[in-house]
């Protein structure tokens, strides 16, 4: 059945010029929002520390996402030029 095959292979959409899976994207947005705002709110309330905690939270979210989400790119290395 070609339709089932299509679903298995063509499941990614393009956002901002690269491919993402909707499920992973939602997860990434949630994780980064929570870590960023979480960092901001647990920080001691004396500027600029909330901002630094927030920034660190954003970076932490980025690292977590990079570990649990696989990029949607295949790399193939060739000896010959195309």
Q: Does 61 bind other proteins (CB under 8 A)?
A: yes
Q: Is residue 47 near other proteins by the rule CB under 8 A?
A: yes
What's the closest the beta carbon of residue 41 comes to other proteins, in angstroms? 9
Contacts with 39 (C-beta within 8 Å, 6 or more apart), sequence order: 53, 54, 55, 56, 57, 58, 60
Choose between 42 and 51: whose C-beta lies nearer to other proteins: 51
Build a one-symbol-per-residue string for 24-43: x at contacts with other proteins by CB under 8 A, - elsewhere: xx-xxx-xxx-xxx--x---
């Amino acid at each position: 059945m070609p339709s089932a095959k299509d679903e298995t292979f063509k499941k990614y959409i393009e956002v901002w010029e690269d491919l993402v899976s909707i499920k992973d994207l939602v997860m990434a947005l949630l994780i980064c929002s929570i870590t960023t705002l979480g960092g901001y709110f647990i920080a001691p309330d004396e500027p600029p520390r909330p901002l630094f905690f927030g920034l660190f939270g954003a970076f932490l979210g980025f690292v977590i996402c990079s570990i649990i989400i696989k990029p949607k790119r295949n790399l193939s290395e060739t000896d010959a030029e195309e």
